[in-house]
Amino acid sequence: MPQTVRGVVARTKGAPVTVENIVIPDPGPGEAVVDIAACGVCHTDLHYREGGINDEFPFLLGHEAAGTVEAVGEGVTDVAPGDFVVLNWRAVCGNCRACLRGRPWYCFNTHNATQKMTLEDGTELSPALGIGAFADKTLVAAGQCTKVDPEASPAAVGLLGCGVMAGLGAAINTGNVQRGDSVAVIGCGGVGNAAIAGARLANAAKIIAIDVDDRKLEWATNMGATHTINGKDLDVVKAVQDLTDGNGADVVIDAVGRPETWKQAFYARDLAGTVVLVGVPTPDMTVELPLIDVFGRGGSLKSSWYGDCLPSRDFPMLVDLYQQGRLDLDAFVTEKIGIDDVEAAFTKMHDGTVLRSVVEL
Ligand SMILES: NC(=O)c1ccc[n+]([C@@H]2O[C@H](COP(=O)([O-])OP(=O)(O)OC[C@H]3O[C@@H](n4cnc5c(N)ncnc54)[C@H](O)[C@@H]3O)[C@@H](O)[C@H]2O)c1
Ligand SMILES: [Zn+2]
Ligand SMILES: [Zn+2]
């Protein structure tokens, strides 16, 4: 029997979100219904509600979530009712050209539920990133459920479902930070702070945090930054060079995603160093550089999609590190809120007063 539950819906472009009754079908073949425990508020949810992702309104928002599998459809064997899971937006297909080459973290054909969740009048909903977890329950592809230690706090580990994984992975997977490296991170929101935590996990020797907001730099210091730079007051490239014997950092991560920050990243890295772009630019943005600088500085210029993560490999491992006290996921949870508070959380995110607000369901 389909069930009716509460969910946070963005009905039209730019309008405040509303809590609505939504209808969840029984899981079909390859699908699962998950009883959501907690879901973080990510910048991408706000992008959806502003029409910045696509025009497929109404959206069911929320996509950084943990919960318990309630029911599974035909043919599902990897997860079962009662399993505690973190939801992911990279349910790899196993058959695309990336998967077949043994690089499933680049999968070009990831799975989502086939059936649609709807409003009570039958209007089909578009779930954010194929998840839609600001809701008591949601319908996903079974492969979007990654089993983790059920003892872990849902509010903390749910964040691995998007922004925190993107930042950790930008450092560990894409940037391939090594023991002893110097790392600079530009932009210290949830994603940048996670990149700092990732650099620390990888035993970087020097971790330089850069932001234009002193509050964010304080968070970054707690997360493991060894040095901070306020980009409002200082020439960022020179400041990073000054902190690295005049050379620049081995890995520079741009967690803002603007032409000016990417250029700072480009010039603030050491010769043969690595730039990682994890902040998401808008389609109108361009950069112009002397080509000789691209050649002459060597190294690699990379982008990081979802931290190049493989959920089945990375989520359980990171939850274990969290449980052992080696990765402080609780530090990302600035506040726990109710399902009616998502719009207020967008305002706080915009004002920079939170790393993450987490909806408890
Ligand atoms: N690549 C991915 O898979 C992925 C996944 C999730 C989020 N993201 C993207 O990562 C970016 C960051 O997300 P977030 O949740 O941390 O956002 P956020 O708004 O919490 O953080 C952005 C930070 O950048 C700082 N900042 C802004 N302009 C700056 C400048 N010129 N110099 C230095 N710092 C500056 C802000 O003060 C803020 O602290 C966004 O673009 C988001 O869309 C990417
Ligand atoms: Zn694939
Ligand atoms: Zn997100």
Reported confidence tier of residue 319, pLDDT bands at 50, 70, 90: very high
Which of these ranges, 4-18, 40-54, 59-73, has the smallest mean pLDDT? 40-54
pLDDT digits (tens, 9 = 90+) for 165-209: 999 999 999 999 999 999 999 999 999 999 999 999 999 999 999
Q: Is 39 helix (H, G, I), strand (E, B) or coil?
A: strand
Backbone angles phi, psi at 144, to 5 degrees: -80, -5
Please tell me the number of Cα atoms within 13 Å of 237 on its side-chain side. 11
Nearest Cα to 65, choosing from 164, 163, 158, 191? 158
Tell whether the model's pLDDT for residue 283 goes beyond 90: no
Cα 216 to middle of ligand 2, angstroms = 37
Tell whether the model's pLDDT for residue 111 goes beyond 90: yes
pLDDT average, residue stretch 36-59 = 94
Ligand nearest to the CA of 143: 2
Q: Which residues line ligand 1 (CB under 6 A)?
A: 43-44, 162-163, 166, 186-192, 210-213, 216, 231, 255-257, 261, 278-280, 304-306, 352
Q: Average pLDDT of the chain? A: 97
Nearest Cα to 274, choosing from 198, 180, 177, 166? 177
Ligand 1 atom closest to residue 194's alpha carbon, by position in its atom list: 16
Q: How far is CA 229 from the centre of its chain?
A: 24
**DSSP classification of residue 42:** -
Predicted confidence at residue 166, as pLDDT, reads 97
Per the CB < 8 A criterion, the answer to whether 49 and 10 are in contact is yes
Cis before residue 81, ω within 30 degrees of 0?
Answer: no
**Which residue, by CA, sits nearest to atom 24 of ligand 1?**
187
Contacts of 192 (CB under 8 A, 6+ apart): 167, 185, 186, 209, 211, 216, 220, 253, 255, 256
Q: Which two tokens stand for residue 139?
A: 């319908």
Predicted confidence at residue 282, as pLDDT, reads 85
Ligand 1 atom closest to residue 44's alpha carbon, by position in its atom list: 43
Q: Which of 43, 240, 252, 282 to mutate to test the pocket of ligand 1 (most atoms within 8 A of CB)?
A: 43
Q: Which residues pair with 65 in a beta bridge?
A: 39
pLDDT digits (tens, 9 = 90+) for 63-103: 999 999 999 999 999 999 999 999 999 999 999 999 999 99
CA atoms 47, 214, 192, 244: torsion sign:
positive
Residue 47, number of CB atoms within 10 A of its CB: 15
pTM of the model: 0.96
Cα 332 to middle of ligand 1, angstroms = 14
